[in-house]
Amino acid sequence: MMVAGDAAPDDAAAGRRRLSAWLALLALVSAGASLVIGRSSGGPTFGFGAPELASTILFDIRLPRTLLALLVGGTLGLCGAALQGLLRNPLAEPGLLGASSGAAFGAVLVFYFGLAGAESLALPAGAVLGSLAALAVLYGLAARRGDFLTIVLAGIAINAFTAALTSLALNFAPSPYAALEILFWMLGSLADRSLAHVWLAVPLMVPGWLLVIAASRGLDALTLGEETAASLGFDPRRTQWLVVGGTALAVGGAVAVTGVVGFVGLVVPHLLRPWVGHHPSRLLLPSFLGGAVLTAVADIAIRLMPPGPELKLGVVTALLGAPFFLQLIMRPRPGAAA
């Protein structure tokens, strides 16, 4: 395998471009496959079925699902890469800041306790509010002592707190069936989403991405340490809030329509880091593309399963991602001290 640090700078840049090009191609191929693979009561189907149903199946059912797989997966990959860079901690992932669990709790409240009825847009609205509330608490806790450790610890606490609130909601669920639906929501799914969900998520995701990308040079400077970065003219606090705010927006939008999809944000940056080296900024685009590919492939795998109720997306992303991840961390690394 090629490790960026070993190659001459020009070769390395060309290598990174090739990596991104390959990942983009993979994303396109998996999107194409996602559009032609469906699922009926008898298991997977290929093509679009009867001619008079074809356009409905393609445009109203599979297209939203495919778009959301790419956008949500990309969001998780991008935010995971940025957070790992910001916190200089390999365990960082979007769930860490409480954005995911806050969004999940908001959705559960709205949806299963009839705060706003079962209309399709009420659920995402609740998720975004939950995500922003988690972020606001994080900001309130960490604003005065804005160091990274405080943010991580506060994020973990908020995460645990919102997860506990969701469990509490499970206890008070109006019926055992509602409790089951809440449980499924925590495992994520792309099934039966419509284009309305895409339009709901995109206005949150795109600004979120832009905020995160705006932090990319600051992230590179931070690899030299906070003081060095400050002396180079990068305000660590600005970088920090760009990444945290961007993540909350983008992940809030993602969780709002898919539920909690685990593992993508954690594993994708790790899988791609050996190709791009240790500059966080160079990891952002490949992680976005890689997250999109992993999520789309996982969602295709769901449809290829033998007949039965659909598996949940978070289950499959972990099943697919974990073996790669383990292989990666068990392999002896060149320059393992780094």
Partner 1 sequence: MPDLVLLLAASLPSVASINLCADQLVLTVAAPEQIATVSWLSADPEESLLAAEAARYPLNYGSAEELLRFRPDVVIAGAYTNAFTRTLLARLGYRVVELQPESTVAEIESNVRRVADAVGRTERGDAIVAGMQARLHELATHRPAHPLPAVVIEPGSFTVGEHWLANELMTLAGLRNVAAEQGLDRWGSLSMEALLTSAPELVVLTGYRSTQPSLANAVLDHPALARLRARQRTAFVSGSYWACGLPQSLDAVALLQAAALEP
Which residues sit at the interface with partner 1, rule CB under 8 A?
A: 38-41, 49-50, 53, 56-57, 60-62, 111-112, 118-120, 123, 174-178, 180-181, 189, 191-194, 196-197, 307-310
d(CA 63, CA 67): 6
Of 61 and 206, nearer to partner 1 (C-beta) is 61
Q: Can you name the residues that pair with 37 across neighbouring β-strands?
A: 46
CB of 102 to partner 1, least distance (A): 20
Of 36 and 91, nearer to partner 1 (C-beta) is 36
d(CA 124, CA 92): 25
Of 62 and 282, nearer to partner 1 (C-beta) is 62
CB of 130 to partner 1, least distance (A): 17
CB of 269 to partner 1, least distance (A): 29
Q: Which of 241, 224, 240 is nearest to 232 (CA)?
A: 224
CB of 249 to partner 1, least distance (A): 22
CB of 313 to partner 1, least distance (A): 13
Of 47 and 140, nearer to partner 1 (C-beta) is 47
Of 193 and 273, nearer to partner 1 (C-beta) is 193
Pairing of strands 37-40, 43-46: antiparallel
Of 260 and 283, nearer to partner 1 (C-beta) is 260
Of 90 and 174, nearer to partner 1 (C-beta) is 174
d(CA 239, CA 222): 9
CB of 193 to partner 1, least distance (A): 6
- Sole residue written with tokens 């910001």: 86
Q: Can you name the residues that pair with 40 across neighbouring β-strands?
A: 43
By the 10 Å C-beta count (0-12 exposed, 13-18 middle, 19+ buried), 74 is classed as: buried
Q: What is the DSSP letter of 311?
A: P
The CA-based angle 258-260-261, given to 5 degrees, is 85
Q: Can you name the residues that pair with 43 across neighbouring β-strands?
A: 40
**Helix residue spans in 143-215 (DSSP H):** 148-171, 176-185, 195-214
CB of 177 to partner 1, least distance (A): 4
